[in-house]
Chain A
Amino acid sequence: MPDRFEKLKEVKKKFITVEFFFKAAGERFKLEQITKLDIPKRKKIFDKNLHRPGLALAGYVELFTYQRIQVLGNTEIKYLTQLNKKKRIDSLMRFFSFNVPCVIITNDNPLPVEFIHIAQKFKIPVFKTPYPTTRFIYLVSDFLDDQFAPQIVIHGSFVDVYGIGVLFCGKSGIGKSEIALDLVERGHRLVADDVVLVSKKGESVLMGSGTEFVQHFMEIRGLGIIDIRKVFGIRAIRFQKRVEVIVELEHWDPGKVYERTGLNTVKGNIMGVEIEMIRLPIFPGKNITVISEVIALNYLCKHYGYDAAKVFAENLKKKIRLNKKSGKGETSASLRRAIEYFEHDFE
């Protein structure tokens, strides 16, 4: 069961076009094209890493990762500026003869005149940004990391419950949407229903969101399509949330064994990230909404260092030890009330 997500197909973008990059991120990174080109459609970015082509400019082009976005900072520009004209042209001709997707100049550095000419000749777009190089690389890496992140589609309902991203999975018709609806009614926020897009961020974070098309529409059996955002308003939705707990709903099967203490947590594995997984048997009359809230709150408690199951088990161990020590004495003899005696207010 923990590997039920392994069969799901992982989708990964092979490339993004430079045109898309500029459209999606241009404003965010204050990019401005200084070449006068319609960005050629064939210009693609295949790699989430960036490259600073210092060595390539200096003439060493073995292992030159030209297929990456090339970032030229103060050092590279300074280097080019101090070369004599001939050497500078040689260097740039060599550099631009590689099929570079695009070049980005940081710090709004002014360029030697030949630069733009040669870039245009090779139809390689050059952008500039006012951001300093390190800051820019940090920002763009994050963006590209997200663009090239592996994604999967999970059939389920994804709700932010008290700030914890709870992903409900289970067979069709078991009531995932109804639970999400009930949670929304109680003030929690729907991220996605039915089609949840889960992306891997970095090594250990999974982010979930809905799809652009479905947004916060939802199907309720017997009722049809409703729009949660319209019905409940802006407070009822959010667009993204980290996936923190998976709740697997299933019809209660008397022949099956369910977790009783909470000490043996099961982890689900989604794209190599382990996520706490709870198998929840359901039957008519069981209030899954309230249980879901408790799952979220208990997760928070554990996150902040208090694990009720562990505390209870520890208390039990202590009590058994005490009983053993006192032999068949008074303490071992009986269950003791939680208070020593009832004080004189018989309420």
Chain B
Amino acid sequence: MIEKEVTIVNKAGMHTRPASTIVKIAAKYKANFFISKNGFEINGKSIIGVMTLAAEQGSKLLLRFDGEDEHELAKEMIDFFERGFDEK
């Protein structure tokens, strides 16, 4: 299991477009993926779940990866968060 705290850096936050990219990345891997915000943990493969977090710029999220290809998933996912979802 891998855990990693990330901060939302882009201005618009984790809105629909990044949310849909997040679940699409997660869907490629077998490992389970969870995101928690303020203690609530949701399944990162569920688009509604990811959107429910309504994570704004500056908010901190805990990503948890668990499964056989967790390293690959973690690498791609953390990278996407750190790139600010490729937005400003």
Contact = CB atoms under 8 A, between A and B. Distances in A.
- Interface size class, chain B: 20 to 34
B17 to A, nearest CB: 8
Contacts of A49: none
B69 to A, nearest CB: 13
Contact of B16 (A316, A334, A335): A316
Given A257-B27, A260-B24, A332-B56, A316 B15 contact: yes
A151 B17 CA distance: 38
Interface stretch (A22-30, A188-196, A318-326): A318-326
B40 A320 contact: no
Given A316-B51, A316-B54, A332-B59, A324 B13 contact: yes
Given A261-B16, A324-B13, A334 B39 contact: yes
B16 A324 contact: no
Contact of B12 (A257, A261, A312, A320): A320
A291 interface: no
A333 interface: yes
A332 B8 CA distance: 14
17 contacts: A254-B27, A257-B28, A261-B19, A261-B47, A263-B20, A316-B16, A317-B15, A320-B12, A320-B14, A320-B15, A320-B54, A323-B13, A323-B54, A323-B56, A324-B57, A334-B39, A335-B53
Interface of A: 254-255, 257, 260-261, 263, 312-313, 316-317, 319-321, 323-324, 332-335
Interface of B: 12-17, 19-20, 23-24, 27-28, 38-40, 47, 51-59
